[in-house]
Amino acid sequence: MIGGRWALIGGLIALMIVAAVASLALGSVPLAPARVLAALAGHGDPVATAIVIELRLPRTILGLGVGAMLGLAGAALQGYLRNPLAEPSVLGASNAAALGAVGAIYFGLAELHPLVLPVLAIAAALVALALLFTLAGKSESPLTLILAGIAVSTLAGAAISLALNLSPNPFAAMEIMTWLLGSLENRSFQHVWIALPCIAVGGALLLYDGRALDALTLGEDGARALGTDLRATRLRLLLGVAIGVGGAVAVSGSIGFVGLIVPHLVRPLTDRSPSAILLPSALAGAVLLTLADIGVRLIPSTNELKLGVVTAFLGVPVFLAYLMRERRLW
């Protein structure tokens, strides 16, 4: 499978480059790939340069980064919790980050500076992590962690509903709703600089533990008997999810399903061990979210479609396919 693994990773990297160039070229003003590449290289015409560098490049970078983070976090959590239904939001990080962002909008703090919202979102994700550790205690069983995650996630969700409920006027409520749907529209390099370091740190923490995730195939005792320090693994994994997913949600809003479906798409192409799907899931997540973001721009509609809406619709057929395979219908 080693050769297969590098072929898969190489293929996904190629797809990612194609998706990235397409994301720079396509939109309300289509540009030829040659003009895009010229603008990237620094000798393009002023119009192309403005569109590509100022408008589309941050959006493309964020699409790749957020998609990679969500795919990787889903793969790592499915491996760690040994549950094919785990996704980045299962431990509450996404909802908590969304709550931080909603708080910033609700209290009008988001208008003070463009960075207030993402910073508050990341802070909320870290607070949720601390709460998760308190609730889950020392137990290493995935069940207690999922239960604690559901508690944290539900609490954050309830607080978001409360903010919507109490919002002073329909416009404030609309602003919150719109943000919650998830989008990469009108993102600048400021957003890139706040999200990318978080995603890099989170991604590194998650990629480090492939070995431990493989060992967990044999259960907690099996993994510990193979030399895995489960406590350190859990700390790295949860920190990685909180920082990485927190940073991603902070700039993109809640984008569901990517973290859930990408590992399922990738798994049949690997040897199915948890470590083997980590990097491919990150790459495939980047491709999927970038393609979805291109779709958002190209599908004609009066309001621009929100990315989170499109990914949710994408998720359903993938799940149906998975279900049919489980039922051995094909």
Q: Which residues form the interface with another protein (CB under 8 A)?
A: 1-2, 79, 82, 208, 211, 214-219, 221-222, 224-229, 271-274
Q: Which residues of 104-141 are buried (b: 16+ CB within 10 A; e: fewer)?
A: bbbeeebeeeeebbbbbbbbbbbbbbebbeebbeeebe
In the complex, the smallest distance separating the C-beta of residue 272 from another protein, rounded to whole angstroms, is 6
Give the residue with the Cβ less far from another protein, 224 or 297. Answer: 224
Give the residue with the Cβ less far from another protein, 71 or 247. Answer: 71
CA distance 32 to 24: 10
Give the residue with the Cβ less far from another protein, 101 or 216. Answer: 216
In the complex, the smallest distance separating the C-beta of residue 275 from another protein, rounded to whole angstroms, is 10
The token duo for 186 is: 């009108």
Give the residue with the Cβ less far from another protein, 54 or 229. Answer: 229
Of residues 23, 5, 7, the one with CA closest to residue 60:
23
In the complex, the smallest distance separating the C-beta of residue 218 from another protein, rounded to whole angstroms, is 6
In the complex, the smallest distance separating the C-beta of residue 244 from another protein, rounded to whole angstroms, is 19
Whether 187 and 59 have beta carbons less than 8 Å apart is answered as yes
CA distance 37 to 230: 46
CA distance 15 to 253: 25
In the complex, the smallest distance separating the C-beta of residue 7 from another protein, rounded to whole angstroms, is 16
The token duo for 287 is: 């491709």
Give the residue with the Cβ less far from another protein, 50 or 218. Answer: 218
CA distance 209 to 77: 11
CB atoms inside a 10 Å sphere around CB 216? 24
In the complex, the smallest distance separating the C-beta of residue 273 from another protein, rounded to whole angstroms, is 6
CA distance 270 to 258: 19
In the complex, the smallest distance separating the C-beta of residue 9 from another protein, rounded to whole angstroms, is 14
Give the residue with the Cβ less far from another protein, 65 or 263. Answer: 263
Give the residue with the Cβ less far from another protein, 225 or 298. Answer: 225
The token duo for 18 is: 């194609």
The token duo for 285 is: 């997540």
CB atoms inside a 10 Å sphere around CB 51? 21
CA distance 128 to 156: 9
